[in-house]
Structure 1
Amino acid sequence: MSFTPEQNNAICVEFFEAAWNTGEVREDLLASDALDHSQVGGKQKTEPGSGSFKHIVGMFRGAMPDVKLTIEDEIYTADKVVHRWRLNGTDTGGVMGMPPSGKAITMSGTTTVRMQDGKIAERWANVDELGLLQQLGVVPPPPGA
């Protein structure tokens, strides 16, 4: 069965909004051999299945239970979907193992997905980790900021 770029985008919106805004990772929208290419703490890794993505979502939802994903741009063609997004939440549980700061956090990034037969087959994410660390006070802001 062939899916249009619009249908692929709608599947991605449904998947990512459910995961980030409710904590539900929709396995039914992932290919059985899906690959998650993620970069956490400057280290690139590729993992099969949903475990890596579930870990990332769980870590941030645990730190910021009120986290809300907003998709700001949607670009899609053929089997690729790209979303520019923003996460907002309050750090009440400690982001990335740090003590809770109580700060309102805004994190932005871009996710690229390759679709196959109406399911997410691969995911790549680029996240503004430096901006997150600056908001948490771990890294000083640039001079004059």
Structure 2
Amino acid sequence: MSVEENKRIAIAVFPAAWNQGDFGPAEKYIHPDVIDHFDNSQGIEAFKGVINGFRAAFPGLQLTVLHEIAEDDLVVHHWSMTGTHNGPFQGLPPTGKTLTWTGITIVRIADGQIVERWANVDVLGILQQLGVVPPPPGAE
């Protein structure tokens, strides 16, 4: 597969799943036994579960891909997400706060399907915005 084709696959999957809850592209382009190194899960159902959990906690969640870099069989997305905390999240009751956080996701594509995913998410930023963790000294 070409680098351009790999980029097309990655951009088809992630915004559709996160923004609309549309898993059609994911069903087509994610291997059923995909390995997710972020949470050590395996399988497309685990992938769907993570997204559905966030979408339930942050209805109207929006993913924006800020940068895309690809080389060989890897595609990297630097992204931002925004959502309002209107549902339970990680045991926290809804706060009504609108949050924005960033992250980087790397996927490996083989034979036209995503077979591995790595992610780095600003979890500290999420927890600070929810008020679970205090902001750093001097931050407003």
TM bracket, shorter-chain basis: over 0.9
CA contact (8 A) 1:82 1:111 kept: yes
Alpha-carbon offset, residue 7 of structure 1: 1.0
Paired AA for residue 34 in structure 2: A
TM-score when normalising by structure 1: 0.90
In the alignment, the residues of structure 2 paired with residue 48 and residue 11 of structure 1 have an alpha-carbon distance, to the nearest angstrom, of 19
Alignment RMSD (CA, Å): 1.1
Structure 2 partner of 1:12: 10
Partners of 1:31 and 1:116 within 8 A in 2: no
How far residue 49 of structure 1 moved from its aligned partner, in angstroms, is 1.2
Q: Count how many residue pairs are aligned between Structure 1 and Structure 2.
A: 137
Q: Which runs of 5+ in 1 are unaligned?
A: 40-44
**Which secondary structure does the structure 2 equivalent of 1:52 belong to?**
helix
Is 1:111–2:73 an aligned residue pair? no
Counterpart residue number, 2:90: 96
- Counterparts of 1:105 and 1:136 in 2: how far apart (Å)? 8
| Per-residue deviation, 1:114 | 0.4
Match of 1:122 in 2: 116
Contact 1:59 1:96 in 2 (8 A): no
Compute the TM-score of the two structures, normalised by the length of structure 2.
0.93
Q: Displaced runs of 4+ in structure 1, greater than 6 A?
A: none
Q: Identify the range of structure 1 (21-30 vs 84-93) with the bigger mean alpha-carbon deviation.
A: 21-30
